[in-house]
Chain A
Amino acid sequence: NAGVTQTPKFQVLKTGQSMTLQCAQDMNHNSMYWYRQDPGMGLRLIYYSASEGTTDKGEVPNGYNVSRLNKREFSLRLESAAPSQTSVYFCASDPNTGELFFGEGSRLTVL
């Protein structure tokens, strides 16, 4: 049981480049989330998916897109990366109890 797996763990991009962060969970959870973590700002919700086939915006969705490919996978895409998107990104899933199970995080630097 791997839990929540994110790739890549580290990535450096130039401004304007695009990339996709991948996330997969093997716990059969319906809900999945993408958060970003910045110093002094806690965890902020980017997008979430309450179930396969549905996605909704969180607090800070601008500059991001998501795809809930199936029940296991939830990807986050940056179409044109900006320095303000330098952050640590966490994927999480939830068995509808409220408890979030986080991945290990992906550290993204945009130059």
Chain B
Amino acid sequence: GENVEQHPSTLSVQEGDSAVIKCTYSDSASNYFPWYKQELGKRPQLIIDIRSNVGEKKDQRIAVTLNKTAKHFSLHITETQPEDSAVYFCAAGGQGFQKLVFGTGTRLLVSP
């Protein structure tokens, strides 16, 4: 089955810096790669996703890149702000989104 590894587990940056979180997956059949943000004590919420037919997707300060050959994808956050502090989860899914497998999460701390 699918296995998703996520690094780093914690990431501390200064406000205004960029942050990058990386994930690798094992199943070449996976074709959907979402990223979820979970603030402390809250529910996870989708922030961006990418499908296998594109290599990059941007939404304001966040972007996701996908390298299907190497089986890895990354989340990039530019001009970080304190409200970006949260746990971020990557996930990979194949045929039928029911098969979504999550990474173990990255705790991002943005210091003012």
Report A's interface with B, CB cutoff 8 A: 31, 33, 40-45, 48, 50, 56, 59, 90, 94, 96-100, 102-105
- In the docked arrangement, what's the CA distance between A50 and B34, Å? 19
- B102 on the A face (CB < 8 A): yes
Chain A residues near B93 (CB, 8 Å)? Answer: 98
Given A41-B104, A42-B103, A43-B89, CB of A102 within 8 Å of CB of B43: yes
- The total of interchain contacts (Cβ-Cβ below 8 angstroms) comes to 53
- In the docked arrangement, what's the CA distance between A94 and B34, Å? 13
The answer to whether A102 touches B100, judged by C-beta atoms less than 8 angstroms apart, is: no
- B101 on the A face (CB < 8 A): yes
Closest to B49 in A: A98
Known A43-B44, A98-B93; further 7 A-B contacts with Cβ < 8 A: A33-B98, A42-B103, A42-B104, A43-B89, A59-B1, A98-B49, A99-B49
Of the A-B pairs whose beta carbons lie under 8 Å apart in the complex, a sample of 27, sorted by A's number, is: A31-B97, A31-B98, A40-B9, A40-B105, A43-B44, A43-B89, A43-B91, A43-B102, A45-B98, A45-B101, A48-B98, A50-B98, A59-B1, A90-B43, A98-B34, A98-B49, A98-B93, A98-B100, A99-B46, A100-B34, A100-B36, A100-B46, A100-B100, A102-B44, A103-B43, A104-B43, A105-B43
